[in-house]
Amino acid sequence: MTNIQRLRVKLGNAEFEAEGDADSVKQQFAEFMLAIASGGAGKKPVDVKADVEGQIAQCEPQPKSLDKIFKTGELISLLALPKTDAPSADALLLLIYGFEKLKGESTVGGNALMQAARQSGVPIPRVDRVIAARDEFYNAAGAKKGRRYSLNNKGSQHVERMIAELLD
């Protein structure tokens, strides 16, 4: 399992966003802060050393918290189910997130998603009908057996909030 880190920072008018391995994100953020300090993006000089050290500390690899939510194997399965108003749809979103983060698959086929849901203890008749309850959080492409699902930005944020709640 690779440790993918994501960092978003807004300082005045300047914004930074990076995703990748921890060393890459640290390097990109340090370059961003140097550009701001030299007057490249912000109006006011910034204490680069203090900000870089503070933000890089937040970028350190997190404990394997996803291992408390997901079980990996041929499929991804859930070890904890969401307690929301649409638990089956949210479980599908969690599974899509798991496939993306743990297996590196940016899209998940409907058949794999159905099998992963059943393996997780979420009995659903059809993926498309159940996940439709959360249509603002995912993208779908293809038709019939070739349909593939992925999370949009809003969906990733929603899933990360659910994961935080499940870990508390």
Q: Where are the domains positioned within the chain?
A: 4-58, 65-167
Q: What is the dihedral of CA 117, 118, 124, 130, to 10 degrees?
A: 0
Contact 65, 88 (CB under 8 A): no
Q: What is the pLDDT of residue 51?
A: 53
Chain segment 67-107, per-residue pLDDT in tens: 889 998 888 999 989 989 999 999 999 999 999 988 889 89
Neighbours of 91 (CB within 10 A): 24
d(CA 58, CA 76): 28
How many residues in the chain? 168
Q: What is the pLDDT of residue 110?
A: 93
Q: Identify the architecture of domain 65-167 in CATH.
A: Orthogonal Bundle (1.10)
d(CA 8, CA 34): 16
User: pLDDT confidence of 3, banded at 50, 70, 90?
Assistant: low
